[in-house]
């Protein structure tokens, strides 16, 4: 244990030297902090107001964030966790590691959302994305999809947040009939990938007709690649929401800075960079409106969302049902 | 054994120390996870995952080894222009990160791949890669290179004098097979199959991506699920312990099959072409080499072609990522190689040999996730782990890579001891002279291959970096993953090409260094 101790001592000294500027550690997922993600712009804008040093610490995705914070417990250096979604917030709140934010910030979410512990920063609808040049008539419901000879790629609900989102989508739309829907979808599924990027990569390689992603995915291709061939299929049942949230940790040594950051999340400077860096809808629409590419996207007639505590309660059983239906 | 008492002490002691360090890294981290969990238990679905894991690993290992025999034999007894380059190239799939290699396989076997395009053009039905066979195909793709190299080394370790003797006795190919090749294969095959079996035991992304659905659930996926979504540390620890138990069973089984062939010492001459001179043999060797090359190189070539356009527009993060990857690889290779040589030397000495060898194999069965999590739990109270991303990654990579080096150099070390050990002792060769003139020169070729392998694996490994990395610790594979996670598939293909090139260049350099001037 000599070298970690030595390193700890060394780092403590190094920290003393830089102690004048307070540091706010934000634990977030990889793609948020990446050079092409919202991270750099957010850091610059927040540091201009806070006289502090904003540092991103990253983990793979929303689920990894929660696992990481539960591993670290109260000893965590992080002050804010940014990037959980509503399928994870119940477990996160139950860990007791988060503190109420105590703020009221208006948002433009399609459903009423008020949580004492977590504040939303962006959101999107799950949807099946397809290539218009290859699939002329996309299905308009899960039942139509199950009946059609259309191949889809999905993510594993045991390993990825979109995969879990799809599970909740089917549950929210069909309730007790969900196992029937999964049994019908079984022969449409080419494969189940561990994460979003594998599935989306395979889709772009032409391995399937549709992939589970977001209604906002076509905006990336349109804006960043000037490619208008991708579209999301509108489903009559409605589309399930993914709401991404942030919360402050109870054991934070910078509670005031953490509060300031959560408040800053609702500001124009933060929200305006979301659409074209995170490719999701901003929680609060910027005054200049959304980028043009976003106006071409489908807008679901109905938004589905299972409340966080119920989602957590039905997860294990839902996964079991999913496994049974697809293992046949 | 036959050495002076003092030297036994030093080498055996360092071997025991290394074995102890490996035990701490593998079982100590597991214990840390268990301690934190408090209780442990299985999930009802885990039994199915264990069955699937063992089945796919067994089939993958058997197929890889069986297919590797004709390829290795053809490469061993044919001389042709570019043979040495081809041997190096055939190693490539083993060095490529899984995410990248799967895309390469799909370029050939996927729905829009070369194979199906061809079949459809010929009016034949398309084939699907997804399912059990797809998982096995991918595992054979990854591990055939390793099997070929391990078996090829076996062939090259048969002293040239034996083949000459055989030829002067008028041995037919069947006699060569019976007296020389079969005993060699009996020694080499179980070890190669064991390594591949254990590697496939901890497969995760391949099985899930190509498996076609939840039937293809592996133990490693169950661990991932337990750690990430359920935060069920106890279950993760139990599953990881199961992986060790499976690996231990496989090691014990393979040890029962291994026989050391009694070829005796030769004069270190490399065997030249022997046997198989008939037209049929020439043809079958050509087919074996041709098919293996096509199977192993085509997917990567297609992948490289795809990455080429993006090379001119690489993200800025690629340069520091290359530097980090190279540093990690360099330190990791040095650590692993020194540790593996000492451990092998201690095993050859004979004291605690079985236990030391077992400890050296243990990391093969380690779940990278549990190892990383355990290390995190151990280090976290002392130091901010995200600041130690690179040292921690290096340490874990070095641990996970050690079994490869050990397996590759151990047969040669054994042979050196068996052939020259008594002679060296009887002429009182000093410890230094023994290493300088006897062991290291003979170890050079396997060592070059082993270090090349470790360095390349370490560059291509995503492993624990993904668990710990902050924005300051991005390595090449993590960068590929991050680009893919942000719709940037083309940029990802470009960085993947950089990654393949860097890994391959490092592998080539070290492997070539080991073989240089040795084929004469």
Q: What is the ipTM metric for this complex?
A: 0.81
CA B309, B311, B312, B314 torsion: positive or negative? Answer: positive
Q: Is A108 helix (H, G, I), strand (E, B) or coil?
A: coil
Instruction: Locate the chain A residue with the closest alpha carbon to B385.
Output: A4
CA separation, residue B338 to residues A35, A185, B15, B16, B391 (Å): 38, 54, 11, 14, 17
Look up tokens 């990802």; give the residue. B492
d(CA B40, CA B232): 8
Tell me the two tokens of residue B461.
Answer: 């490994």
Inform me whether the pLDDT recorded for B203 exceeds 90: no
d(CA A317, CA B441): 61
pLDDT tens-digit readout, B268-278: 555 555 555 67
B224 and A159: CB-CB below 8 Å?
yes
Inform me whether the pLDDT recorded for B60 exceeds 70: yes
Instruction: Locate the chain B residue with the closest alpha carbon to A40.
Output: B471
Q: Which residue has the higher pLDDT, B375 or A78?
A: A78
CA A65, A70, A72, A75 torsion: positive or negative? Answer: positive
- Strand pairing report for A230-233 and A53-59: unpaired
Per-residue pLDDT band for B40 (boundaries 50, 70, 90) equals confident
How many of the other CB atoms lie within 10 Å of CB of B423? Answer: 12
If you average pLDDT over residues B73-91, what whole number do you get? 84
Per-residue pLDDT band for B2 (boundaries 50, 70, 90) equals very low
Host H or E run for residue A117: none
If you average pLDDT over residues B367-380, what whole number do you get? 81
How many of the other CB atoms lie within 10 Å of CB of B113? Answer: 23
**Nearest chain B Cα distance for residue A110, angstroms:** 25
Contact assessment for residue A217 and residue B239, using Cβ atoms and an 8 Å cutoff: no
If you average pLDDT over residues B195-210, what whole number do you get? 81
Enter the DSSP assignment of A125. E
Inform me whether the pLDDT recorded for B105 exceeds 50: yes
> What is the predicted pLDDT for the residue at A2?
40
State the helix-helix crossing angle for B318-349 and B353-361, rounded to 10 degrees.
160
Widest pairwise Cα distance in chain A? 66
Residue A130 β-bridge partners: A210, A231
Q: Is A24 helix (H, G, I), strand (E, B) or coil?
A: strand
Is B210 in CB contact (< 8 Å) with chain A?
Answer: yes
Is B224 in CB contact (< 8 Å) with chain A?
Answer: yes
Per-residue pLDDT band for B520 (boundaries 50, 70, 90) equals very low
Enter the DSSP assignment of B183. H
d(CA B214, CA B193): 27
A contacts of B205 (beta carbons < 8 Å): 194, 198
Inform me whether the pLDDT recorded for B519 exceeds 70: no
If you average pLDDT over residues B348-364, what whole number do you get? 84
Closest CA to A133 of A197, A224, A221, A220: A221
Contact assessment for residue A24 and residue A79, using Cβ atoms and an 8 Å cutoff: yes
State the helix-helix crossing angle for B98-109 and A196-204, rounded to 10 degrees.
30
Instruction: Locate the chain A residue with the closest alpha carbon to B318.
Output: A35
Q: Is B3 helix (H, G, I), strand (E, B) or coil?
A: coil
d(CA A277, CA A265): 15
Tell me how far the alpha carbon of residue A135 is from its chain's centroid.
27
The stretches of A79-160 forming alpha helices (DSSP H) are 89-94, 142-147
d(CA B242, CA B44): 14
Widest pairwise Cα distance in chain B? 74
Per-residue pLDDT band for B260 (boundaries 50, 70, 90) equals low
Which one of B210, B228, B382 has the shortest CB-CB distance to A159?
B228
A59 and B467: CB-CB below 8 Å?
yes
> What is the predicted pLDDT for the residue at B96?
77
Closest CA to B461 of B491, B493, B502: B502
Is B472 in CB contact (< 8 Å) with chain A?
Answer: no
Residue A123 β-bridge partners: A243, A281
Is B432 in CB contact (< 8 Å) with chain A?
Answer: no
Instruction: Locate the chain B residue with the closest alpha carbon to A10.
Output: B383
Backbone angles phi, psi at B470, to 5 degrees: -95, -170
**Nearest chain A Cα distance for residue B163, angstroms:** 50
The stretches of chain A forming alpha helices (DSSP H) are 2-17, 30-33, 39-50, 62-72, 89-94, 142-147, 161-174, 178-185, 196-204, 217-225, 255-265, 268-271, 274-278, 292-295, 308-327
Residue A125 β-bridge partners: A241
Label residues A249-287 b or e (16+ Cβ within 10 Å = b).
bebbebeebbbbbbebbbeebbbbbbbbbbbbbbbbebe
B102 and A198: CB-CB below 8 Å?
yes
pLDDT tens-digit readout, B472-503: 667 888 888 888 888 888 888 888 889 888 88
Is B117 in CB contact (< 8 Å) with chain A?
Answer: no
Mutate to test the interface with B, among A1, A11, A12, A35 (most CBs of B within 10 A): A35
d(CA B358, CA B194): 12
Inform me whether the pLDDT recorded for B450 exceeds 60: yes
If you average pLDDT over residues B307-311, what whole number do you get? 84
B380 and A35: CB-CB below 8 Å?
no
If you average pLDDT over residues B116-120, what whole number do you get? 90
A contacts of B106 (beta carbons < 8 Å): 202, 205, 207
If you average pLDDT over residues B293-319, what whole number do you get? 86
> What is the predicted pLDDT for the residue at B378?
85
> What is the predicted pLDDT for the residue at A19?
54
**Average pLDDT per block of 10 residues along chain A, 328 residues long:** 46 52 91 88 94 88 85 88 92 94 89 93 97 95 95 90 94 93 94 88 92 96 93 96 95 94 94 94 93 93 93 89 84
Is B316 in CB contact (< 8 Å) with chain A?
Answer: yes
DSSP assignment of B214-261:
GGG--HHHHHHHHHHTS--HHHHHHHHHHHHHHHHHHHHHHHHH----
> What is the predicted pLDDT for the residue at B84?
82
If you average pLDDT over residues B417-433, what whole number do you get? 78
Inform me whether the pLDDT recorded for B451 exceeds 80: yes
Q: What angle do CA B507, B282, B192 make, to 5 degrees?
A: 40
Point out the least confidently predicted range of A81-95, B138-152, B415-429.
Answer: B415-429
Closest CA to B329 of B461, B234, B483: B461
Which one of B130, B217, B379 has the shortest CB-CB distance to A4?
B379
Label residues A13-22 b or e (16+ Cβ within 10 Å = b).
eeeeeeeeee
Interface of B with A in 94-113 (CB under 8 A): 99, 102-103, 106-107, 110-112
B103 and A201: CB-CB below 8 Å?
yes
A contacts of B221 (beta carbons < 8 Å): 156, 158-159, 194
Inform me whether the pLDDT recorded for B264 exceeds 90: no
Mutate to test the interface with B, among A191, A213, A313 (most CBs of B within 10 A): A191
Q: What angle do CA A303, A309, A312 make, to 5 degrees?
A: 95
If you average pLDDT over residues B239-257, what whole number do you get? 81
């Amino acid at each position: 244990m000599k070298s970690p101790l030595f390193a700890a001592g060394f780092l403590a000294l190094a920290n003393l030297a830089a102690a004048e500027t307070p540091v706010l550690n934000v634990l977030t997922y990889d793609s948020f902090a990446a050079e092409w993600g919202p991270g750099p712009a957010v850091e610059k804008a927040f540091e201009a107001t806070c006289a502090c040093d904003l540092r991103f610490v990253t983990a793979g995705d929303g689920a990894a964030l929660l696992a990481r914070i539960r591993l670290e417990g109260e000893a965590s250096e992080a002050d804010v966790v940014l990037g959980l979604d509503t399928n994870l917030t119940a477990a996160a709140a139950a860990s007791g590691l988060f503190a109420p934010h105590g703020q009221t910030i208006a948002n433009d979410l399609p459903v009423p959302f008020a949580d004492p512990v977590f504040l939303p920063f962006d959101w999107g609808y799950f949807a099946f994305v397809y290539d218009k040049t290859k699939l002329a008539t996309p299905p308009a419901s899960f039942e139509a999809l199950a009946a059609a000879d259309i191949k889809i790629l999905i993510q594993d609900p045991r390993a990825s947040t979109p995969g879990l989102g799809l599970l909740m989508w089917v549950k929210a739309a069909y309730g007790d009939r969900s196992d029937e829907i999964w049994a019908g979808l079984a022969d449409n599924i080419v494969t189940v990938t561990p994460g979003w990027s594998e599935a989306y990569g395979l889709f772009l390689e032409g391995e399937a007709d549709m992939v589970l992603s977001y209604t906002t995915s076509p905006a990336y291709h349109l804006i960043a690649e000037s490619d208008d061939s991708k579209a999301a299929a509108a489903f009559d049942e409605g589309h399930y929401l993914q709401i991404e949230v942030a919360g402050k940790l109870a054991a934070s040594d910078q509670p005031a800075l953490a509060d300031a950051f959560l408040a800053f999340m609702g500001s124009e400077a933060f929200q305006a960079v979301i659409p074209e860096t995170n490719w999701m809808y901003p929680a609060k629409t910027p005054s200049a409106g959304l980028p043009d590419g976003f106006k071409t996207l489908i807008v679901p007639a109905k938004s589905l969302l299972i409340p966080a505590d119920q989602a957590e309660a039905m997860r294990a059983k839902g996964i079991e049902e999913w496994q049974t239906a697809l293992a046949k | 054994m036959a050495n002076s008492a003092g030297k036994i002490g030093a080498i055996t002691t360092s071997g025991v120390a290394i074995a102890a360090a490996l035990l701490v890294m593998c079982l100590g981290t597991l214990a840390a996870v268990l301690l934190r969990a408090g209780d442990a238990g299985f999930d009802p679905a885990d039994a199915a995952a264990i069955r699937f894991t063992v089945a796919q690993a067994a089939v993958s290992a058997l197929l890889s080894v069986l297919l590797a025999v004709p390829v290795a034999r053809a490469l061993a007894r044919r001389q042709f222009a570019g043979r040495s380059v081809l041997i190096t190239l055939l190693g490539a799939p083993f060095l490529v990160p899984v995410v990248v290699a799967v895309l390469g396989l799909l370029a050939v076997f996927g729905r829009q791949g070369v194979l199906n395009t061809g079949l459809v053009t010929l009016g034949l039905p398309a084939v699907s890669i997804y399912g059990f066979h797809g998982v096995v195909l991918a595992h054979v793709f990854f591990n055939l290179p390793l099997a070929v190299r391990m078996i090829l080394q076996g062939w090259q370790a048969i002293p040239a004098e034996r083949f000459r003797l055989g030829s002067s006795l008028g041995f037919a190919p069947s006699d060569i097979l019976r007296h020389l090749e079969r005993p060699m294969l009996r020694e080499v095959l179980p070890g190669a199959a064991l390594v591949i079996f254990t590697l496939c035991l901890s497969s995760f992304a391949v099985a899930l991506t190509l498996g076609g659905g939840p039937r293809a659930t592996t133990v490693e996926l169950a661990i991932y699920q337990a750690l990430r979504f359920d935060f069920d540390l106890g279950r993760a620890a139990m599953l990881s312990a199961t992986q060790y138990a499976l690996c231990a069973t496989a090691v014990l089984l393979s040890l029962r099959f291994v026989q050391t062939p009694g070829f005796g010492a030769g004069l270190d001459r490399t065997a030249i072409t022997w046997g198989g001179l008939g037209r049929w043999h020439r043809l079958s060797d050509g087919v074996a080499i041709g098919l293996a090359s096509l199977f192993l190189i085509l997917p990567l070539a297609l992948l490289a072609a795809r990455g080429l356009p993006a090379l001119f527009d690489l993200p800025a993060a690629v340069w520091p990522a290359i530097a980090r990857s190279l540093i990690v690889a360099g330190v990791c290779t040095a650590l692993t190689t020194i540790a593996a040589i000492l451990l092998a030397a201690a095993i050859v000495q004979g004291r605690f040999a079985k236990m030391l060898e077992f400890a050296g194999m243990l990391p093969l069965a380690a779940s990278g996730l549990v190892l990383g999590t355990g290390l995190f739990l151990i280090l976290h109270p002392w130091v901010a782990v995200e600041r130690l991303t690179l040292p921690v990654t290096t340490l874990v990579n070095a641990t996970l890579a050690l079994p490869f080096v050990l397996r590759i150099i151990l047969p040669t070390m054994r042979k050196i001891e068996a052939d020259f050990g008594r002679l060296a002792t009887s002429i009182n060769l000093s410890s230094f002279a023994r290493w300088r003139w006897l062991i290291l020169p003979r170890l050079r070729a396997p060592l070059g291959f082993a270090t090349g392998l470790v360095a390349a694996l370490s560059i291509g490994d995503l492993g624990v970096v993904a668990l710990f990395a902050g924005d300051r610790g991005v390595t090449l594979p993590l960068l590929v993953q991050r680009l893919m996670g942000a719709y940037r598939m083309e940029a990802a293909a470009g960085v993947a090409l950089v990654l393949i090139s860097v890994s391959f260049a490092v592998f080539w350099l070290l492997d070539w260094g080991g073989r240089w001037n040795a084929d004469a």
